[in-house]
Chain A
């Protein structure tokens, strides 16, 4: 199960494309001002879903409360992924947990940011040899910031969050786009861990089209495998079925076919 090749070579860049996408360059100065404004607003109001795995979670209460107080940076906990901006993974991720983490990540609305706290999320940390934990979080979803340490102190957590804020302001925090652009890559890693019949309720490919991020690497062998067994979850339609009216309509239909 353990793949030695998953360990990143020291110094090598993470396999995440970072930076403003070339096509999105704005020439209109007003649009740039507007973008700047939106980014500023986004960076100062972040809701955080802390998915407390592992032992790093104990550093969060001091980081959130009066002593270090991340709320002064505009960061607040949030209970549901639909309204959250940040997904905080606070330690080693077992294979079982990883499934839930991916489900939660996919349920978040874009733009969304992932922060991996603790060395365990970077490379498996002291669970490196465990058969039950995922080693590198960014194999399965794009990670914006890693905060290494076993475990990192609240100052380090706050420092990492500041880094994220800085990235959002500069427009560099768009790792989330990578998930849509290279979905096949991430899905492949997920399938290798969870098996070929792995699926989540979210239709990522449709979302990629929705966000205009559908690219050549979105689809591939792994998404083809997914499509073979995927059961799409359509939203429940609002149905106004008044029986009397329905009957009349169906009678009219029958009359129409009889003629």
Chain B
């Protein structure tokens, strides 16, 4: 062998494209690694395979590592150390993604390709793929870390299979990476199906309500996939090829009617995954009932795959300007406004459904649906700031939702319930978890100084500057619902009366706390200095052919009003600072009192009586808006399901000829219908 392990490591590290400042750091790592590799007895085979991995095409290497993760989890998932191994493997995937350098560099095609019946499936990574792959692997990484210690121990103790969980997570990541890198319609469909089934696996792991919800999801997913298949067939029949270049050319030559059909098929198919109205009913239960860490992963990234599809086809290939030319007959709306209004309703309806939930998991899952609306809304505005806001919200939302769900499942881990009516006062027992949840809800509600504010502000601003005031009002009404319901979340879990049974609750275990705290630091940093995330978004915009957002380190610059978060956060903190100075400088002292030394109309309080107001939260508001909750969508879903039932019952009879009378009846009805 000519190469020593040291040079192998050299190659690995130079492949990482470390920034200049980190060179010294890399040197230290390189030396220590060299020591390790020299002292350890590497087998010849191991060294060769490592070299092979390093010499590979970077995109292939990414796929390879993802597949390796899946394989190792399949083989070793039952071991206790599998959790740590998974964290390392996701970390390696992240490094491999960075080494592709497709965000700032040129797009890179993978060398793997599959040829089926003269059609070749191939993959390639570009800035958009990089962005979503970063989110996917990042979500996988924090989820794996969260699950690695105490959580998995509890999961095993409940008699569940650790291997199944690890495999489901790895399969999800793998499927998503394939989908994100797809470079033709066939590989897209392959990836899509893989993702659908993988998320079904993750949802159905624990059975019970989760499995029911997963089955419902499956029904939706299959119909969505059928729509996408229809779109693919349409595109193939027009363009004669599955390649994206041919597809773009084909779309350009399509008539308006064809584009409409394509829009309905593709939009419908992807909307199911993104849970846009009216296909939103499956998501909350499916995500909330998944096992804790799985729910974190699903909530953070899974539904974004639908958005990815919409970005590639509707924003990228059809283009917002083409959408604007597609008028809806007899109305003054274009198809762009139609989609924007669907997005706006997707913000409002699920957000106010979340307001009614009294299970913390469901509350967050419903919000996940609503936040998808903001992303689509920003993209549909289509200007530089709006589309950047929509894309940036994918990132901000992913870190926010992951942190929030982690905090909620940490509470579940400690108290055994996510029922908002059975918790309270936990701030004194789980202060760090409280902090994580606090950072998360500020970001989710889109308030400064957290990350969510930046992206939501950009969406709002673009709605105003592009002359869509009604949509702006809708978005703000949605935010109002978010603020109300996240307040309910933090109040009912952490504030108010600590229950007798929770007196001895401890803080979340360290293995769960570290990713939680890391994410909340990220939430603050991405709000304080949004520049780096905006630079990724700007690359994605450039690649999609959208106008590019004029970003700086602290936000955006624009003659019509920019945003500098560094100033904004500075002023905000200075405001608090002045307040604190006035209070403490003039000798202000605060005194904490016991929770039973509280005013309840003069009653003497005892620990066994609940005086916390958590059930029927917002009774006054519900009195006003309660009658608007009609459950119309549930009714629609039920009636559709009933119709399908009837049809399948009839078809079954027809198929088996077991019900000749029914057949006769159906034939008679059909005849009558024909005659009349």
Contact = CB atoms under 8 A, between A and B. Distances in A.
Interface of A: 51, 80-82, 99-101, 103-104, 107, 201-202, 210, 233-246
Interface stretch (B520-528, B594-602, B655-663): B594-602
Interface string B572-595: 000000000000000000011111
A134 B510 CA distance: 57
A239 B510 CA distance: 15
A186 to B, nearest CB: 18
A51 B602 contact: yes
Contact of B599 (A101, A104, A243): A104
Interface string B412-449: 00000000000001011101100000000000000000
Contacts of A241: 429, 506-507
Contacts of A201: 593-594, 596-597, 604-605
B259 to A, nearest CB: 57
B599 A239 contact: no
Contacts of A202: 597
Nearest to B511: A244
Interface residues of B, number: 28
26 contacts: A82-B599, A100-B602, A100-B604, A101-B602, A103-B602, A104-B602, A107-B597, A107-B599, A201-B596, A201-B597, A201-B604, A201-B605, A236-B428, A236-B498, A236-B594, A237-B428, A239-B429, A239-B506, A240-B431, A241-B506, A242-B508, A242-B513, A243-B507, A243-B510, A244-B511, A246-B506
A242 B431 contact: no
Given A103-B604, A236-B592, A244-B510, 15 more contacts: A51-B602, A80-B599, A99-B604, A100-B603, A104-B602, A201-B593, A202-B597, A233-B593, A235-B593, A236-B428, A236-B498, A239-B429, A239-B431, A243-B506, A243-B509
A45 B596 CA distance: 29
Contact of B510 (A81, A210, A242): A242
Contact of B507 (A233, A235, A236, A239): A239
A116 to B, nearest CB: 17
Contact of A233 (B150, B432, B596): B596
Given A103-B604, A239-B428, A81 B594 contact: no
Nearest to A105: B602
Interface string B596-640: 110101111100000000000000000000000000000000000
B388 to A, nearest CB: 39
A235 B596 CA distance: 9
Contacts of A51: 602
A244 B511 CA distance: 9
Contacts of B601: 100
A234 B594 contact: yes
A57 to B, nearest CB: 14
A233 B594 contact: yes
A107 B498 CA distance: 20
B469 to A, nearest CB: 37
A151 B506 CA distance: 56
A246 B594 CA distance: 26
B428 A244 contact: no
A244 B510 CA distance: 6
Contact of A235 (B150, B506, B511, B592): B592
A101 B601 CA distance: 10
B431 to A, nearest CB: 5
Interface in B497-517: 498, 506-511, 513
Contact of A238 (B431, B508, B605): B431
Contacts of A246: 506
Nearest to A82: B599
Which 4 A-B pairs give the minimum distances between C-beta atoms? Answer: A100-B602, A233-B594, A235-B592, A201-B597
Nearest to A236: B428
Nearest to B595: A236
A128 B120 CA distance: 101
B602 A235 contact: no
Contacts of A81: 599
Contacts of A82: 599
A242 B427 CA distance: 14
Nearest to A100: B602
Contacts of A100: 601-604
A103 B601 CA distance: 10
Contact of A240 (B432, B596, B602): B432
A238 B428 contact: yes
B591 A210 contact: yes
Contacts of B432: 240, 242
| Most A C-beta atoms less than 10 A away, residue of B507, B509, B605 | B507
A119 B597 CA distance: 31
Contacts of A103: 602, 604
A107 B594 CA distance: 12
Nearest to A108: B599
Nearest to A79: B599
Contacts of B597: 107, 201-202, 233
Interface in B207-264: none
A205 to B, nearest CB: 14
B599 A245 contact: no
Contacts of B506: 239, 241-243, 246
